[in-house]
A = this chain, B = another copy of it.
Amino acid sequence: MRLSTKGRYAVTAMLDLTLHGGEGPVTLAEISETQGISLSYLEQLFACLRGKQLVRGVRGPGGGYYLGRPGDEISIADIICAVDEWVEFTRCGGNQDCQEGKRCLTHNLWDDLSSEIYTFLSSITLADLVERGGLRETGCVRNKKDDGELSVREGSRAA
């Protein structure tokens, strides 16, 4: 599983659609300004998202983008997979046979971990996030980082 800034852009933009899609289509120009992402880059990201039917574009004036399906049917994994190519990590798999099993073992372990992360991200939908984020919708309560090291918010949710 790959989780880069590109994926974050996509997730954040999709969140925007989820939040404001009820008020009509959301234009890329709006997202571009709100999130500080270049318009053309957004277009590229949305081309990927459209390809997977995660968003639906409406052309012409007054147009913009809607979610392709309800927010509770779109997982974070869906979004990330649409824009971030799922790269194959193992070098032994496929072509080459694994040498002495040892190499293969750690790769299996990684694959397991990878699957778990994917399963985890598949279990979180846009609707989940919005529902949860609504708790603090009043005001702007960003937590300041202490020393910039980890920036993990304590107790955001019990695991």
Contacts and interface: CB of A to CB of B under 8 A. Distances in A.
B157 A106 contact: no
Copies of the chain in the assembly: 2
Given A19-B105, A108-B142, A142-B108, A119 B159 contact: yes
Contacts of A143: 111
B112 A121 contact: no
Interface of A: 1-5, 8, 11-12, 15-16, 19, 34-36, 76, 81, 86-94, 97-98, 101-113, 115-121, 123-124, 129-130, 132-133, 136-137, 139-145, 148-153, 156-157, 159
Contacts of A94: 144-145
B106 A15 contact: yes
